[in-house]
Amino acid sequence: MTTDADLLVDSYLSWLKRGVAVQEMSDSVTELTTPFIDRHNDHLQIYAERRAPNHFVLTDDGYIWSELKASGVELRGSRREELIRSLLVGHGIRLEGRELLTESATADLGRKIHSLVQAMLSLDDLFMVAQPSPGARFCTT
């Protein structure tokens, strides 16, 4: 007999599995397109690079940082930098250059992928604090 709890879990995991697409980019890099969407209704993508048999580096390839900059979000300033740092640390993610990334052993891949997606979604929400800058162009239609 299936309980409602089982039904909820099975339904969610089924939706998640159906919504994931994978593409091998090279011998060591795989692109994972998730069912989670950003504010543009684009599916979030993660890149996983196998560095050793039991070691992966997961990254957004700079997507979120570039989108925030393009939206006119000022990413400098002590309060903003502290907010970004807090969001990333809370998810166990670091910023290297423009890339959000984390490293994972094979046994932790699911949790680390989820943490990176959560960090991407959290940072993507920073566009709400964007103020128009002289060089930024916004669509009005």
At 28-50, the pLDDT tens digits run 999 999 999 999 999 999 999 99
Average pLDDT over residues 4-11: 94
Tally of CA atoms within 13 A in the half-sphere of 41 that contains its CB: 0
Q: pTM for the whole thing?
A: 0.86
**Residue ranges per structural domain of the chain:** 10-129
Average pLDDT over every residue of 50-66: 96
Q: How far is CA 65 from CA 6, 27, 52, 122, in A?
A: 38, 27, 27, 12
Per-residue pLDDT at 139 exceeds 90: no
Query: Which uninterrupted H or E stretch holds 112?
Result: helix 109-124
| 6-11 average pLDDT score | 95
- 49 sits in the region (left: phi over 0; alpha: psi -120 to 50; else beta) called beta
For domain 10-129, the question of CATH label 3.30.1460 is answered with yes
The string of pLDDT tens digits covering residues 115-124 is 999 999 999 9
Q: What is the C-alpha to C-alpha distance for residues 22 and 46, in angstroms, rounded to an integer? A: 10
